[in-house]
Amino acid sequence: MNESGIQMCVLGIDAGGTRSRARLADAATGAVLAEGTGGPGNALSVPHADLVRNLTGALRGAVPRDRAGALVSVVAGFAGGGPGGGVEKARSALAAALAEAGASPARVEVMGDADIAFASGPGTPADGLVLIAGTGAAGARVERRRAVRAVDGDGWLLGDAGSGFWLGREALRAVLRSLDGRGPATALAGPVGEVCGGLTKERVVGYGFGGHPVRLAALSPLVVDAERAGDEVARSLLDRAADELAATVGALTPRPGEPLVSTGGLIGPGGPLLPRLAERVGALGLVPSPVPDGVAGAVALARLPR
């Protein structure tokens, strides 16, 4: 509390490719006061007006009007918001959302999603590695709590190897190859056919090109389910995804024993690729520390003195 007895608050935001999360916390203790969620927050791919609306939705739950005046510090991490990305769009959209919430904090800081994901690791580490694999995939080396080198995160068209999108695309390719005889039969055919509205090449290709490619990430659970049912094609896809993610870590010239924070639906706590990733990076002398998302790190950074 300040001298007037008002409980000062901080806000952490994780604006990811699938949804945006916001968390209000006590500035002194870090105790969670409120939380909210909104739509996708990728600063590169989401149009500005939609980004403002999605952030506003997240803040609506996290920042009650009676606390807006007590908000002193905000740290927001954006997918696509790192250096050279959509950082200016992210700043503009966040400013508009905060104004809509009636908040005018003294400190507002925009970071990349890698920065806040890494800060969510045990003890809020300052230096080490972070690997994200959800809708997209990227790795980064962090020094003094800022990403100084990035690997992949190149988007659905050029990269994101090992991501949910990558798995979904590869699932469609495997089904297409099985349909025309270039590849083996796979248990993926049935569920993919249901999603595509029919198990024909025309239907599968039409689904692949019928919407934004990132939606293919929603197919990745089908691969996990097929592998659990014993499908060799699905097993191979998951192995390849883990290989790609391990290659991303390897490109960051890891040092044995240094922190490696992992997050995202595929390699966060309980993620289907986490055991495979742990095995592969273990050969590099690393042990992943999985975290559910970056919002805890954003709050921790917002509480740090400037």
- Judge whether 202 lies within some domain: yes
Q: What is the CATH number of the domain that holds 211?
A: 3.30.420.40
Q: Hey, which residues does 110 pair with through a beta bridge? A: 76
pLDDT value, residue 212: 85
Contacts of 231 (CB under 8 A, 6+ apart): 186, 187, 188
**What is the rounded CA–CA span in Å between residue 114 and residue 118?**
6
Q: How does DSSP classify residue 68?
A: G
State both tokens at 226: 């097929």
pLDDT value, residue 304: 93
pLDDT tens column, 109-165 = 999 999 999 999 999 899 999 999 998 899 999 999 999 999 998 888 899 999 999
Whether 231 and 282 map to the same domain: the answer is yes
pLDDT value, residue 155: 84
pLDDT value, residue 138: 94
Whether 46 and 116 map to the same domain: the answer is yes
pLDDT value, residue 6: 67
Query: Which alpha helices (H) appear in the chain, and where do they start and end?
Result: 48-62, 87-101, 113-119, 155-158, 164-180, 189-196, 201-209, 220-228, 232-250, 274-282, 295-303
Domain count within the chain: 2
Whether 97 and 195 map to the same domain: the answer is no
- Residue 273 lies in domain: 155-290
pLDDT value, residue 4: 52
- Judge whether 73 lies within some domain: yes
- Judge whether 165 lies within some domain: yes
Low-confidence stretches of the chain (pLDDT beneath 70): 1-6, 83-84
Whether 221 and 175 map to the same domain: the answer is yes
pLDDT value, residue 171: 98
